[in-house]
Amino acid sequence: MLKKDKLTIEDIDEVVRYLLVHMKDFKADKMKTIYYLVYYSGIAHDELITIKRSNFDLDNCSLKIEITEHWEPRTVYYPENIRDMIKDIFDRESEKDNAFNITERNLKTPIHVLKNIYFNGRRFTFRKLKASGKKG
């Protein structure tokens, strides 16, 4: 992916602001945390639905992905500031179906809203978000 095609943290912040205005019931803090986690760790949106809070090692800023795109378990890392965001989400709501209590629809609806919207000349997709970040 060319550097000019990569998303930045500033793009993510702009996307969250846009969605907050244009989507009813958009949970900005939770989705921003998820988008940052994808950006910094490279996890796929399908993997997000399978992770549990027990997969997180918040002390070491790591996450064990057991059900992966490539079937091999792996550990990914994220920065400390993301850990604080994750802790905040976990403190506010108890775990139900997965670590962030999200569904496929929770992930796909914002992307659909953004379908023809460009931020600094770049479209926002999970694939581009995953490929753009700084993997730890």
Element (H, E) at 46: helix 45-48
Binned at pLDDT 50, 70 and 90, residue 34 comes out as: very high
Reported as a single tens digit per residue, the pLDDT across 98-110 is: 999 999 988 889 9
Query: What is residue 121's predicted lDDT score, i.e. its pLDDT?
Result: 85
- What's 82's DSSP letter? H
Query: What is residue 68's predicted lDDT score, i.e. its pLDDT?
Result: 64
Is the pLDDT at 1 greater than 50? The verdict is no
**Rounded distance between C-alpha atoms, residue 59 and residue 49, angstroms:** 22
- Residue tagged 């059900």 (tokens): 67
With contact defined as beta carbons under 8 Å apart, do 6 and 110 qualify? no
Is the pLDDT at 130 greater than 60? The verdict is yes
Residue 99's nearest CA partner among 36, 49, 46, 57 is: 49
With contact defined as beta carbons under 8 Å apart, do 38 and 136 qualify? no
Q: How many domains does the chain have?
A: 1
Which two tokens mark 56?
């997180």
Binned at pLDDT 50, 70 and 90, residue 28 comes out as: very high
Q: Give the residue numbers spanning the domain of 55.
A: 3-132
CATH number of the domain to which 61 belongs: 1.10.443.10
- Residue tagged 């500033």 (tokens): 10
Reported as a single tens digit per residue, the pLDDT across 51-64 is: 999 999 999 999 99
Query: Is the pTM for the entire model greater than 0.85?
Result: yes
Query: What is residue 111's predicted lDDT score, i.e. its pLDDT?
Result: 87
